[in-house]
Structure 1
Amino acid sequence: MEKNVGVYICTGCGIDQLDIEKIKGVVENEFKITPKVHKALCSREGVEMIKEDIKNGVNAVVICGCSPRVKQDVFNFGKDIITVRVNLREDVVWSHDIDEHAQELAEDYVRMGIVQAQKTELPEPYLEETSKDILVVGGGVTGLTAALECAKAGYKVYLVEKESELGGWVRKFKKILPGKFPYREPVDAESYINEKINEVMNNENITVYTSTKIKSISGQPGMFNVVVDREGNEEVFKVGAIVVATGWKPYDPTKLSNLGYGLPGVVTNIELEQMIKEGKLEVDGKAVKDVAFILCAGQRDPEHIPYCSTVCCLTSLKQALCIREMNKDANVFVFYKDLRTVGIYEEFYKQAQQDEGIFLTKGEVKSITQNGDKLRVEVTNTLLGEDITVDVDMVVLVTGMLSSMYGLYTVKEEYPDEGEPPYSHIKPAVPKEVAFENRGKEWILNLQYRQGPELPTLKYAFPDSHYICFPYESRRTGIYPAGCVRAPMTIRDCELDARGAALKAIQTVELVAKGATIFPRTGDIDYPNFFLQRCTQCKRCTEECPFGALDEDEKGTPQPNPLRCRRCGICFGACPEKIISFKQYSVDMISSMIKSISVPSEEGKLRILVFACENDAYPAIDMAAKNGLKFSPLVRIIPVRCLGSVNVVFIADAMSKGIDGVLMLGCKFGEDYQCHFIRGSELANRRMENVKETLNRLFIEPERVKIVQVEISDWPKIPEIINSFVEEIQKIGPNPYKGF
């Protein structure tokens, strides 16, 4: 489109401390644009002034005022108008003493903003005929709840359950944890689950498939093609989003021989649940009176399950109360590492604590041995300050919860011989040999993605997402794990989780129908374009995309699935041939912004470029400014979608321009990663080897480029991070290309 750029300078919020006439001069002399100045562009009068110019032909608006992170609704002039925000408030007047350096900084930001507007094109959404139907995989509490919530909102639901009946684990329970105030009394499981099942079966928006497995899922959000196998008969349907509610499975108790598993009377909490359901507490036909619970059996143990399953303590208390209800003379001993009754269940804990037949103490199990027709449990390091020995009829090993995805071959990048770093933060939950034994036997989704057939998982085999900012997400756009498949949780928490996942699924089908993406760039219709004529089939983009947005043909040419894309730009940063670009975020745009910076030739006037992740680092810079913290005016900040979107060419362009140093601020990576785009900052760090090669070719010190991990809460550290890098560059000295 032909651009008619309008430049508007706000003088409010202290911006009038700058020499506005000089800024106007830059705009007029260098870009031949007559800017307009207003004391408050965000006021009604200021906005009306801009709208009047739009009526008269302005189609690209450059707002020189406050941060692009604020007042987005005020400066939204519609989808046909390009709007660029120049941050003079936070990035200049609030974070610097006003002097010639700050003036030069403001002028550079205005230059960069105008060039950005000139290089930006209006995005066009990727529009195809999409489905708003939703697939729910799993017919337990989570799946039933998710299906009901979607159906109540008016969406058609396909509910697929591999077993012959709905209900999941709850069908095997006699009682479940209380769900209503005051949360003291266990609830009858059968009436609870039957009510939910009946509601599903009677809902005309829900089609139920039992005894059914998913044979394959291909396509992308809004266009998922699902093939199911229903007792040997194939059926095909299309859905827009998927909720995965396949639940959990118990830990293998045969690995707990050290706790006596295999001895008569040593059972798991799951086996005990079945006995309670049947109303028979027996060992070898003899009634059980005295029972010992060993909590955290194989849990919080690096040799078994390193994590806490959160629900087991509560379940043990419920089972203890059930035993006491079945036999008033029973004695129940509960030995725990820590008794954790999470959430709303303090009163439930007190209910069990006050039962005279239930004995609770912290301690470590020393041994469990056969003692005649009894089992002897020896416990040390107890709260009583002395060792305890009890003889009981039954020992219950309270084993933990594993995701139903545990043991599955999930993504090929999990294993070193199939994928090199940057996958170092993903550690396989089970050895590769075990996963391959299960290959195809127990797969859940059977995704037809180049990256693998299942959802990528964390090292404990729970589906991988940004666990802080959007826990319902997976690394497969439009597919949402919920309930115990993604984390151990109670039945009531599964219901809440299901509702959250249902809302995300609904959001997805509505957004993709408009060609827009989901979190974190929710509503963005700009998707990457590939100039495949110049593609060298290096596969960097297909291998590095965290969301499986790219398949590839037999030659390795990327096959984009635009509706899987999250618009992070990691593929854009990966491509050595620069063939990938967005309408609003291109290599040409960023390179042109870098080249627009005025680099002085005078000694001592350094210029340093900062690429700041828009999700954490850039907000942290804004927050530092808002809190009155100041940092060097020698830096110029360019917000980027993700540090992984920084192409090596940007650094080469900066050095060629005479920029003295490049600081890259991105999210934390490694095992405790916090990148909104999963591994973007880690990829940027990995690419530093390529950066060093580029700098060596230019005969430039590699120390001129640095990556620092920043989370949003690190805003008090921003001045130190920036200023210390400036000092490092000052010691190295000016870029030898300066002045060329």
Structure 2
Amino acid sequence: MSNAVKTGVYFCKNLNGHPDSIQLNELYAFAEGMEEVSHIWKAGDLDLLDHQKMAGVISTREINRIVLAGNSPGFIQPMFAKALAAAGLDPSQVTNVSFTEYNATRQKDTPLAEAILACAVLDVPFELAAIPDEVDVNPDTLVIGGGIAGIQAALEIANAGKKVYLLERTGTIGGHMAMFDKTFPTLDCAACILTPKMVEIGQHPNIELMTYCEVDGVNGSPGNFQVKVLKKARRVNLATCIGCGICTEKCPAKAPSEFDNGTTLRKSIYIPFPQAVPNKYLIDADSCTYVKNGKCGVCVKFCPVENCINLDEKDETVDIDVGNIIVATGFQTFDPKRAEQYNYGTLPNVVTSLEFERLVNAAGPTGGLIKFREQDKKGNWIFTEEAGEPKSVAIIHCIGSRDHNYNKYCSRVCCMYSLKLAHLVKEKIPNAEVYEFYIDMRAFGKGYEEFSERIKEEGVHMIRGRTARVEEKDGQLMVRSEDIYEERILETKVDMVVLSVGLEAREDAGGVASMLGIEQGEEGWFTENNYLTEPTSTFSGGITIAGACQGPKDIPDTVAQASAAASRVLQTILRGKIRLGIKDLPPEKIIENARQISPLKMEVES
């Protein structure tokens, strides 16, 4: 008889619990290919209650050791121990291996799961075989996202003397904060805080600003990433454009302004907003007459700088090498068209909070005047200074948030920015009636409760309860809601309704997560290593997260997390080396290490 250790591997059913679970067929084939494995039981093909039948298989296959592979296989151990005893073998020879313990649960983690399984078969603790290597760190850093989080992180690292690539998918940095008029609770000018940082980014010798660019691929490992960047055709030379504005003056084509959230029109060749960085023009290919059908070219004709505009420019890719990546891609707002009861998109003066932010902004479409939305001669619904002024405004909280039909979570910022908007209405139209329809007032931050009390003292009507519907009635907008305190149903007529939309993970977050190898939670936000102790690090070494891409947060929390992410990156840069995480180790190297230290010796019958 042979004295060789022959292992049987049982795969638990719970490995198949998710469409993106570990590839079981690959795991089966891997186990069958190991010389130490005598037999495998595939998930679901064994009657665990018939230990005598199990004992028969164990005897036939000369199995003398069992490995239970699964996400939580411990409850099966007594059944196999009983089967081993029935076969006359040592019932203690049952080993559990959990893939969840090492966060190897997705399809992309299958190679890691194979290494974990191999260690169990070879009777080697995974931690002894998965010895982290230390590698030299490229001191350059890529920051993805040019909002306030990306700006803060980039400046922290650059001011420490290290090179930063700041990549932004649109034509300018600034993000959502650049759209705001005031910040809460201090009512400071948002642009006064943000634009000096934007200018510093544009002029910093250690920052290479890459606007109108996207990440197209990432290879390598922590400390040494190779990043492929897609440079979208701007069609205007950044180096030679003098920003004179003649091109946009002559351009005949128009399109809704993204920066103004579609509340006004801009030309096809444009600067996103007056304080944009870089403060240079770009061409929107989707609305440019020449790009669409080869006609026009007026901008080229009138441009005073020769060869500054190239209407035939194509997208290109460039490669950059970095040691660390900070993801600060931000959020998107909930689309209220999904909540049909509010009639957004049907009733022109039902507007989103972000549209209203532009309306009250001095640099917005009406110069900061609160005006009705009206149709222009071509049928576009836009804000203009010539329109009438509302005398009553309703602000409805929690649109798309705290709602089981959409997003169950609280978006954290909506209560406070809604109060800020109410203040701005009272400031600009003192006699206006302003109503805040809210579920609960979440005034959690420093100075927030005091700000809430201030708004009440300004005469804003606070109505607690859910809002059921917004519809048109007698030439006005009628808001149907409950009033919890008065225990009644209200029908409130107003001239304008502002929908305080919640925050959501960006639509492209899944693609970014897949490309970078980082995890997402149920709602789509990027997942951190540990919410309490490691809120900026991810399960992928060398990649950190900052700002609202991790979850809803206000500007102070965003800035604080961005600085923390930069600090974590600087630690690795200054140390010069980075320790690879388990997921960054080659699985074949782990298996090789396990074989070298395995206590099991294969013996062949003589």
| TM-score normalised over the length of structure 1 | 0.48
Pick closer, same or farther for the CA change 1:446–1:227 going to 2, 3 Å: farther
Partner of 2:454, secondary structure, is: helix
| Aligned CA distance change for structure 1 residues 460 and 122 (closer, same or farther; 3 Å) | closer
- Which amino acid in 1 is paired with 2:316? N
Counterpart among 394, 403, 428 of residue 505 in structure 2 = 403
* Corresponding position of 2:230: 229
Answer yes or no: is 1:263 the counterpart of 2:347. Answer: yes
Query: Pick from 226, 250, 266: which aligns with 2:333?
Result: 250
Q: What is aligned with 2:143?
A: 136
* 2:384 is aligned with 1:282: no
Q: In the aligned structure 2, how far is the partner of 1:381 from the partner of 1:372?
A: 23
Structure 2 counterpart of 1:164: 171
The alignment yields a C-alpha RMSD, in angstroms, of 3.0
**Mapping of residues 156-555 of structure 1, within 5 Å:** 156-178=163-185, 185-230=186-231, 231=233, 232-261=315-344, 262-277=346-361, 278=364, 279-283=368-372, 284=374, 285-344=387-446, 345-356=448-459, 358-404=460-506, 406=507, 408=509, 410=510, 443-444=511-512, 447=515, 455-465=518-528, 466-510=530-574, 513-517=576-580, 547=583, 550=586
Is 1:581 equivalent to 2:597 in the alignment?
A: no
Indicate conservation of the 8 Å contact 2:395/2:418, yes or no.
Answer: yes
Contact 2:482 2:488 in 1 (8 A): yes
In 1: Cα distance, 2:130 partner to 2:417 partner = 56
Superposed CA deviations along residues 637-694 of structure 1, whole A, max 9, x for unmatched, are xxxxxxxxxxxxxxxxxxxxxxxxxxxxxxxxxxxxxxxxxxxxxxxxxxxxxxxxxx
Distance 1:366 1:445 in 2: 36
* 1:670-681 map, 5 Å: none
Shift of 1:336: 0.7
Q: Distance in 2 between matches of 1:213 and 1:122?
A: 34
Please list, as runs of the form range in 1=range in 2, the aligned pairs for 1:624-663 lying within 5 A after superposition.
none
Please say if residues 222 and 584 of structure 2, whose CA atoms lie closer than 8 Å, have aligned partners that are also in contact.
Answer: no
Q: Deviations over 1:40-99 (max 9, x none)?
A: xxxxxxxxxxxxxxxxxxxxxxxxxxxxxxxxxxxxxxxxxxxxxxxxxxxxxxxxxxxx
> How far apart in 1 are the matches of 2:527 and 2:132?
31
- What percent identity do the matched residue pairs reach? 29
Asked which structure has the greater RCO (Cα within 8 Å, sep 6+), the reply is 2
In structure 1, C-alpha distance between the alignment counterparts of 2:419 and 2:322, rounded to whole Å: 42
TM superposition shift of 1:548: 6.1
Mapped partners of 1:206, 1:383: distance in 2: 54
Q: CA deviation at 1:242?
A: 0.7
Q: d(CA) in 2 for partners of 1:467 and 1:254?
A: 33
**Native 8 Å contact 1:213 1:229 kept in 2:** yes
SS at match of 1:499: helix
Amino acid aligned to 2:175:
G
d(CA) in 2 for partners of 1:122, 1:378: 61
Q: Report deviation, 1:125.
A: 4.3
Task: Give CA-to-partner distance per residue, 1:315-353, whole Å, 9 cap, x none.
Answer: 101111111111111111001111101221222222212
For residues 517-549 of structure 1, give each alpha carbon's deviation from its aligned partner in whole angstroms, at most 9, with x where no partner exists: 47xxxxxxxxxxxxxxxxxxxxxxxxxx7x465
Question: Is the Cα–Cα contact under 8 Å of residues 216 and 445 in structure 1 kept in the other structure?
Answer: no
Decide whether aligned partners of structure 1 residues 484 and 123 sit closer, same or farther in structure 2, where only a CA change above 3 A counts: closer
Q: Deviations over 1:231-283 (max 9, x none)?
A: 32332221111111111101111101112322231111111112112223222
Contact 2:341/2:468, CA 8 A, preserved across alignment: no
Q: Deviations over 1:206-229 (max 9, x none)?
A: 111111111211101111011212
Runs of 5+ unmatched residues, structure 2: 1-123, 234-314, 375-386, 602-606
Q: What's the CA shift for 1:154? A: 2.3
- Which residue number in structure 2 is paired with residue 737 of structure 1? none
Q: Report if the CA contact (8 A) 1:217-1:445 is conserved.
A: no
CA gap 1:123/1:288 in 2 versus in 1, 3 angstroms: closer
Q: Structure 2 CA distance, aligned partners of 1:317 and 1:326?
A: 14
- Cα distance in 2 for partners of 1:334, 1:121 equals 60
Compute the displacement of 1:123 (Å): 7.2
CA distance in 2, matches of 1:235, 1:289: 54
Structure 1 SS opposite 2:221: coil
Deviation per residue, 1:418-460 (Å, 9 max, x gap):
xxxxxxxxxxxxxxxxxxxxxxxxx44773xxxxx65321110
The separation in 2 between residues aligned to 1:297 and 1:120, in whole angstroms, is 51
| Alpha-carbon displacement from aligned partner over 1:553-572 (angstroms, at most 9, x marks no partner) | xxxxx566xxxxxxxxxxx6
Q: Deviations over 1:142-170 (max 9, x none)?
A: 00000011112222111011111111112
Does the 8 Å contact 1:214/1:228 carry over to 2?
Answer: yes
Matches of 1:509 and 1:587 in 2, distance apart? 36
Name the CA shift for 1:234/1:381 in 2 (closer, same or farther; >3 Å): same
> Structure 1 residues 276 and 548 mapped into 2: Cα distance closer, same or farther (>3 Å)?
farther
Could you tell me which runs of 5 or more consecutive residues in structure 1 were left unpaired when the two chains were aligned.
Answer: 1-115, 179-184, 411-442, 448-452, 519-544, 551-557, 561-571, 573-577, 593-740
In the other structure, the counterpart of 1:596 is none
Q: Deviation at 1:359?
A: 1.1
Contact 2:226/2:319 (<8 A) preserved: yes
Q: Partner amino acid for 1:467?
A: Y
Rounded to whole Å, the distance in 1 between the matches of 2:129 and 2:397 is 61
Aligned residues of 1:214 and 1:446 also touching (Cα < 8 A): no
Which one-letter code corresponds to 1:507 in the other structure? Q
Choose 268-277 or 141-150, whichever is displaced more: 268-277
Could you say if the C-alpha distance between residues 133 and 312 of structure 1 is closer, same or farther in structure 2, counting changes exceeding 3 Å?
Answer: same
Whole-Å Cα distance in 2 between the matches of residues 268 and 329 of structure 1?
A: 22
Letter of the 2:216 counterpart: K
Identify if the C-alpha distance between structure 1 residues 582 and 326 changes in structure 2 by more than 3 Å, giving closer, same or farther. Answer: farther
Paired residues of 2:327 and 2:544 also in contact (CA < 8 A): yes
One-letter identity of the residue aligned with 1:373: G
